[in-house]
Structure 1
Amino acid sequence: MLDRFLFKQIDNSALIVFRIIFGLLCFLESVGAIFTGWIKRTLIDPQFTFNFIGFDFLQPLPGNWMYVYYAVMGFFGILIMVGYKYRISMISFTIMWSCTYLMQKSSYNNHYYLLMLLSAIMVFLPANRYASIDAKNNPNIKEIAMPSWVKWVFVLQLFILYTYASIAKIYPDWIDLTVPKLLMANKANYPIIGDLLQHKFIVVLIAYGGILYDGLVIPLLLYKPTRKYIFLISIFFHLFNSIVFQVGIFPYLALAFSLFFFEPEKIKNLFLKKKPLYTKNEVITKNYKPILVAVGVVYFTIQIALPLRQHFIKDNVLWTEEGHRLSWRMMLRSKSGRTSYKVVDKASNTTEVINMSDYLTKKQIRTASCKPDVIWQFAQHLKKTYAKKGKDVKVFVDAKISVNGRPYQRLIDKNTDLASVPWYWAKHNDWILPSQLDK
């Protein structure tokens, strides 16, 4: 039974077309970061970046070299698209993208995380076996079929993503429309559609349509009678997100996943007319089966477990942010902070109030004003900066934040020296004061 589920051969048209689209999107994401100014704002202008904790060694290249870095990534995207030196190109893009993902989180976006996961998965897939330069140069690798596990890797990854995204929205501030209203209020200045986005119907559609779509899209794509209808809804849903929320390539990547749900004959006839259709349904068990099963179990266990960790950490994730990242929690809260940093010289006991703009960009200031892990990192950065001047200092933070429009409340124990405390990834950091969100 397991052999049939994993190793039944199916037509590979969906994977081949997905590789082409995926490579194109990797290219567009990379060069788009150059031409939209994202690299300048995020990786060049800042004095330093807020990397993922534990990855301090990953820092942007000096000067304008990050432009070259992203241009090289874009080049690998093109190679992936045309299927040239596919494995090397895919590994190279995966490493480079993962490094850029981990070196900064001020511009954190769930689709950056998804692209990192997908890139790593694509390394191991036979995506260059047809319609590729590799297959043209080496006809021995040309194939029109693939094992069925390739399809189910995508389906399961998407099911986890969308299910957690749907469940995360089922909380009071989303259900009572507080967050959707705040999201739309930020779009009021959009030309033409800005006023329309403030209409209650749109707010309700975003709130409850989002829950229903995320929760049902994968089952409805798997069920043939509803497939074409949910696909049409998906087109509207993702184009709306692209226009209104400007979330990069994610909407188009999400639409590309639909290839794995439609009949192979349709995909072949639409995109690969000259390709033969595979119809034999052979079961060809591979000798890597034990490794595949072991790696699959470990990988998807981690994917299921990571979003659950917030429930094992004290207090509300909306307040502490502990367990927020890597959990498919998308556009769920609006935060603002009133935060000040105070440095105390241990030797002279003199105090200096930090002007945050001397160290951070405007976007970094917003992040370092309301997110505890970033606040801790900035305190550590200040300690290192003063150590270079020959001073051993304490760093105290007075932070008050507003979550989803609530009154400002103190976030950090202002008597704790954040320069001297560790950061705990898997448990609550006690210097984060208890929230009053549920009161």
Structure 2
Amino acid sequence: MLNKWLFKQVDNSALIVFRIMFGLLIFLESVGAIFTGWIRRTLVEPDFTFTFIGFEWLQPLPGDGMYFYYAIMGVFGLMVMLGYKYRLAIISFTIMWTATYLMQKTSYNNHYYLLILICAIMAVLPANRYHSIDAKQNPEIKSISMPNWCRWIVIIQLWIVYTFASVAKFYPDWLDHTVAQRLMLSRANYPIVGELLQHEWAHICITYMGIGFDMLIIPLLLIKHTRKWAFFASIFFHLFNSIVFQIGIFPYLSLAFALFFFEPKTVRNIFLKKKELYLGNEIIIKNYKNILVSLGLIYFIIQIALPLRHHFIKDDVLWTEEGHRMSWRMMLRSKSGYINFRVVEEETKKVHNVNLSDYVSTKQMRTVTTKPDVIWQFAQRLKKEYAEKGIKIAVYADGKVSVNNRQSKRLVDNKVNLANAKWNYFGHQEWLLPSDLYPGK
């Protein structure tokens, strides 16, 4: 039964149109990073970047290298859109985008991670089988159908993203509108909408629309009778996010996903009027179907496990950040704080107070003062710098952090030598002090 459902042939109009839109969007994301100054601020101006731990060797290219890097990514985006050497283009873009994701986390965004996953999924889908240069040059690959799993792998991925995004919002600071209030306060100077967004009723709407939309949008898009209204709600929701939060291509990518929920005939009539509509009901089971099903199962188990892992790590993820990334915890908190690093030479006991601005950019400053993993990485960088001079040191950090404008509390045990602390990849860092964010909880 499962094989028949997964490998039943269905019309591929949605996938073909999505490929075109997706290619255009990743092209715009690539060139947009150049012209908006994102590359300059994030990858060029800093002397070094805070990478994902274990990828310290993955630093930006020197000089103007990252501008050329993103220009090449833009070319691959156009190749995806046109369906020219599609597999090479999408795999190459995926590798390059993943590398930029891993080489810096000052501008971390859940959407950047989502783009990696969608690129990886698109790399295995037959998205160049119609209305592409590949199909024109190689007519034998041309097809108006695809296996049913090609549609459902996207839908299930989206369901995981939206569901965990909704569940993560069920915590006090979101439910009492604290988060919405602080998010909107920074948008007070926006023309027309800025003043409106400061009202309590706006904060209430944002709070509960955020929870409700994320939880219900996928089921409502799947149901024929609610699909049209759910799509209109999606347009409003994502355009609001685009205008207010200015998060690049991702609201429009989210709207493009709606193609997989509508009837193939509807998609074809709007976008591919000359395409023949597939009306067959063939079931084509390939020899590699067991491998495909097994890999798909493993993939989705991992996707469900990652957002749950913070429940098995000591203390609150809002405080420790342990289990925060790759978990669809979107716009849940704001942090502010300060930190002082003290270097002590082991042999002479000479003390050096570190001036952070000598090492990090303005953009990096907020990250290094509030994120435990970045604090540890900076301590390791100091250790390496002094080791190159033949000096063994101890590094101590002392600072306070406020979560969602709560009372500032000390984050790091200032008696622990972070230079000698080992990073616990899968658990809690014992040099972090308890949060006690919600006393009596």
What range describes the TM-score normalised by the shorter chain of this pair? over 0.9
SS at match of 1:198: coil
Query: What corresponds to 1:168 in structure 2?
Result: 168
> What amino acid does structure 1 have at the position aligned with 2:115?
L
Query: What corresponds to 2:366 in structure 1?
Result: 366
Query: What corresponds to 1:348 in structure 2?
Result: 348
Q: Please report how far the alpha carbon of residue 191 of structure 1 lies from its aligned counterpart in structure 2 after TM superposition.
A: 2.1
Q: 1:117-172: CA deviations, max 9, x gaps?
A: 11111111000000000000011000000000000000100000000000000100
CA distance in 1, matches of 2:204, 2:283: 48
CA distance in 2, matches of 1:246, 1:346: 48
SS at match of 1:270: helix
> What amino acid does structure 2 have at the position aligned with 1:242?
S
> What amino acid does structure 1 have at the position aligned with 2:281?
N
> What amino acid does structure 1 have at the position aligned with 2:180?
P
Query: What corresponds to 1:11 in structure 2?
Result: 11
Q: Using structure 2 for the length normalisation, give the TM-score.
A: 0.99
> What amino acid does structure 2 have at the position aligned with 1:74?
G
> What amino acid does structure 2 have at the position aligned with 1:379?
A
Q: Please report how far the alpha carbon of residue 286 of structure 1 lies from its aligned counterpart in structure 2 after TM superposition.
A: 1.2
Trace 1:385-404 onto structure 2 (pairs within 5 A): 385-404=385-404
Say how many residue pairs are matched.
Answer: 439
CA distance in 1, matches of 2:98, 2:165: 22
Trace 1:287-298 onto structure 2 (pairs within 5 A): 287-298=287-298
Q: Which range moved further: 283-292 or 37-46?
A: 283-292
Query: What corresponds to 2:142 in structure 1?
Result: 142
Aligned-residue CA RMSD (Å)? 0.7
Say whether residues 1:107 and 2:110 are aligned partners: no
Q: Which range moved further: 399-408 or 189-198?
A: 189-198
Q: Please report how far the alpha carbon of residue 190 of structure 1 lies from its aligned counterpart in structure 2 after TM superposition.
A: 1.4
Q: 1:56-90: CA deviations, max 9, x gaps?
A: 12110011100000000000000000000001111
CA distance in 2, matches of 1:362, 1:116: 27
Query: What corresponds to 2:77 in structure 1?
Result: 77
Q: Please report how far the alpha carbon of residue 384 of structure 1 lies from its aligned counterpart in structure 2 after TM superposition.
A: 1.1
Q: Please report how far the alpha carbon of residue 194 of structure 1 lies from its aligned counterpart in structure 2 after TM superposition.
A: 1.1
CA distance in 2, matches of 1:145, 1:124: 15
Trace 1:265-414 onto structure 2 (pairs within 5 A): 265-414=265-414
SS at match of 2:170: coil
Query: What corresponds to 2:180 in structure 1?
Result: 180
Query: What corresponds to 1:25 in structure 2?
Result: 25
CA distance in 2, matches of 1:200, 1:434: 32
CA distance in 1, matches of 2:359, 2:13: 51
CA distance in 1, matches of 2:64, 2:418: 33
Query: What corresponds to 2:259 in structure 1?
Result: 259
> What amino acid does structure 1 have at the position aligned with 2:437?
L
CA distance in 2, matches of 1:394, 1:434: 23
Percent of aligned pairs with the same amino acid: 64
SS at match of 1:259: helix
Q: Please report how far the alpha carbon of residue 401 of structure 1 lies from its aligned counterpart in structure 2 after TM superposition.
A: 0.4
> What amino acid does structure 1 have at the position aligned with 2:388?
K
CA distance in 2, matches of 1:91, 1:334: 35
> What amino acid does structure 2 have at the position aligned with 1:117?
L
CA distance in 2, matches of 1:394, 1:363: 26
CA distance in 1, matches of 2:50, 2:227: 42
> What amino acid does structure 2 have at the position aligned with 1:149?
W
Query: What corresponds to 1:427 in structure 2?
Result: 427
CA distance in 1, matches of 2:245, 2:299: 30
CA distance in 2, matches of 1:46, 1:87: 34
Q: 1:365-395: CA deviations, max 9, x gaps?
A: 1000011001101111111112222221111
Structure 1 residue runs of 5 or longer lacking an equivalent are none
CA distance in 2, matches of 1:46, 1:395: 22
SS at match of 1:369: helix
Q: 1:84-118: CA deviations, max 9, x gaps?
A: 00011111001100100000000001110000111
Q: 1:175-234: CA deviations, max 9, x gaps?
A: 001111010011112122211111122111110000000000000000000000010000
> What amino acid does structure 1 have at the position aligned with 2:147?
P
> What amino acid does structure 1 have at the position aligned with 2:112?
Y
List, as ranges, runs of 4+ consecutive aligned residues in structure 1 with deviation greater than 4 Å: none
CA distance in 2, matches of 1:190, 1:3: 52
Trace 1:25-64 onto structure 2 (pairs within 5 A): 25-64=25-64
SS at match of 2:61: coil
Q: 1:380-435: CA deviations, max 9, x gaps?
A: 11111122222211110002000111111000000111111111121101000011
CA distance in 2, matches of 1:242, 1:149: 31
Q: Please report how far the alpha carbon of residue 321 of structure 1 lies from its aligned counterpart in structure 2 after TM superposition.
A: 0.4
CA distance in 2, matches of 1:31, 1:291: 37
Query: What corresponds to 1:126 in structure 2?
Result: 126
Structure 2 residue runs of 5 or longer lacking an equivalent are none
CA distance in 1, matches of 2:3, 2:252: 33
SS at match of 1:195: helix
Query: What corresponds to 1:233 in structure 2?
Result: 233
> What amino acid does structure 1 have at the position aligned with 2:148?
S
> What amino acid does structure 2 have at the position aligned with 1:87?
R
Say whether residues 1:86 and 2:112 are aligned partners: no
SS at match of 1:368: helix
CA distance in 2, matches of 1:209, 1:4: 38
User: Does the Cα contact within 8 Å between 1:379 and 1:395 map onto a contact in 2?
Assistant: yes
> What amino acid does structure 1 have at the position aligned with 2:100?
T
> What amino acid does structure 2 have at the position aligned with 1:298?
I
> What amino acid does structure 2 have at the position aligned with 1:179?
V
User: Does the Cα contact within 8 Å between 1:322 and 1:425 map onto a contact in 2?
Assistant: no
CA distance in 1, matches of 2:191, 2:63: 36
CA distance in 2, matches of 1:240, 1:419: 45
Q: Using structure 1 for the length normalisation, give the TM-score.
A: 0.99
> What amino acid does structure 2 have at the position aligned with 1:407?
Q
CA distance in 2, matches of 1:11, 1:277: 7
> What amino acid does structure 1 have at the position aligned with 2:53?
I
